[in-house]
Amino acid sequence: MPKLTARKVETAKPGKYGDGEGLQLAVSPSGSRKWVLRFQWQGKAREMGLGAFPLVTLEQARDAAREARKVARAGVDPIADNKREKTVPTFGELADTVASDLSAGFRNEKHKAQWKMTLTVYAKPLRAMPVDAIETADVLAVLKPLWTAKPETASRLRGRIEKVLNAAKAKGFRSGENPAAWRGHLENLLPKQSLLTRGHHAAMPYADVPEFMAKLRERDATAALALEFTILTAARTGETLEAEWSEFDLDAKVWTVPAPHMKTGRVHRVPLSERAIEILRALEKDRVAQFAFPGQKADRPLSGMAMEMVLRRMKVENATVHGFRSSFRDWAGNETPFPRDLAETALSHVIGDKAEQAYRRGDALEKRRALMEAWASYCEPSAASNVIILKKSGW
């Protein structure tokens, strides 16, 4: 039987015209044209509509017929499968739903934004695919370009894809193994994360911090004050940026960081050194909003990149804002007699196993006050040698 041509499809008179392998063009007396696929299913003749011309072209009808025959050869009814596909969401649709549902438990807006970005930008090749059509090869195609270039991002992306596909299975849209699962699956196809060069945040040697502080104080900007405050308190970037005036007791010299702002999800008290108090007092004079370190808009904190930009403008290389926490930890461990647990608590790290944590109720605030005051003294531009004073005084 001769194949149809584009010209024949457009000019055919009422009737049925075959294109081969069961594909037909049906032309009604009114002149409307639609595609029909005739096939055998479990010994019975069936007809399946493939759409109307010109919305569905000849080539598109052939592709649809070819796919339907492939489904039938796999032992699945193409008509039932076609109806099912109309109800199965795409990966993008379900990913947006899952991210929205899970975001209620996220502690900060940055985490929400990261979920949305990775599943929108990096997982873009998956978004238009029905969730039950995604296979291991599709997941690998998304992960491989990132796996060595951006290992941490790739690892998080894999976990998020896995969550979306797990949700698809829980909702009845998928069955079988998860193609994004790591254990027993992708671990055999991709290098383990421990073998990748994940790296730590670049940290400034603590011996260079006093000189850096001198240069930092020459900069008259809120971001510079925020960076100095972050260094003095050994805080994380988000803790400083999200700090509100209600968290500070300047008379008691204590900063109480609420649980939602903490990585650990626990309230953390920070003893404030004299210099940290000076910074807050200076900012308090021009207080215009709830945030201690406001951004350009009064109702918003500084940008997440504000402190990093200070480092860039100062042409500081091989150092990050987060890395100053390592500078503090190295200084405390190498140059002072303060106990390890005290330094770890100052960094808001969880100490001991669950049993020890259950009995460890105090946070050694006053002992940590001595540690943070010593760190602030060390950070003074001319005080790099006061570690000798610390040791002589028996601290």
Task: List, for residues 275-310, the tens digit of each pLDDT value.
Answer: 999 999 999 988 877 899 998 877 788 888 899 999
Looking at residues 163-173, what average pLDDT do you find?
89
Confidence of residue 223 (pLDDT cuts 50, 70, 90): very high
Choose the weakest-confidence range: 17-26, 69-78, 116-125, 221-230.
69-78
Report the C-alpha gap between 291 and 283 in whole angstroms: 10
Which residue is it, tokens 């299913």? 41
> Is the pLDDT reported for residue 207 higher than 90?
yes
Q: What is the mean pLDDT of the chain?
A: 85
Decide if 15 contacts 27 (C-beta within 8 A): yes
Decide if 232 contacts 375 (C-beta within 8 A): yes
Sheet holding 248-249, edge to edge: 248-249, 254-257, 268-271
Q: 360 to each of 110, 332, 341, 363, 366, how far by Cα in Å? A: 31, 22, 12, 8, 16
pLDDT tens digits, 297-354:
777 888 888 999 999 999 998 889 999 999 999 999 999 999 999 999 999 887 654 5
pLDDT at residue 288, as a whole number: 77
pLDDT at residue 389, as a whole number: 39
pLDDT at residue 132, as a whole number: 86
Q: 181 to each of 130, 135, 140, 208, how far by Cα in Å? A: 18, 11, 11, 45
> Is the pLDDT reported for residue 378 higher than 70?
yes
Report the C-alpha gap between 395 and 377 in whole angstroms: 13
> Is the pLDDT reported for residue 70 higher than 90?
no
- Enter the CATH code of domain 91-195: 1.10.150.130
pLDDT at residue 203, as a whole number: 87
Claim: this prediction has a pTM higher than 0.85: no
| Cis peptide, bond prior to residue 89, ω within 30 of zero | no
pLDDT at residue 259, as a whole number: 86
181-194: burial string, b at 16+ Cβ within 10 Å, e else:
bbeebbeeebeeee
- Count the neighbouring beta carbons within 10 Å of the beta carbon of residue 245: 14
Fold of 6-85: Double Stranded RNA Binding Domain (3.30.160)
Report the C-alpha gap between 32 and 52 in whole angstroms: 8
Which residue is it, tokens 């438990």? 105
Choose the weakest-confidence range: 171-180, 210-219, 227-236, 273-282.
171-180
Residue ranges per structural domain of the chain: 6-85, 91-195, 206-393
- Count the neighbouring beta carbons within 10 Å of the beta carbon of residue 139: 26
**Percent of the chain's residues with pLDDT above 90:** 48
3-state secondary structure of 236: coil
pLDDT at residue 385, as a whole number: 44
Paired tokens of 332: 């405390």
Looking at residues 259-269, what average pLDDT do you find?
84
3-state secondary structure of 23: strand
pLDDT at residue 394, as a whole number: 42
Fold of 206-393: hpI Integrase; Chain A (1.10.443)
Q: What angle do the packed helices 109-117 and 91-102 form, to 10 degrees?
A: 170
Report the C-alpha gap between 260 and 242 in whole angstroms: 10
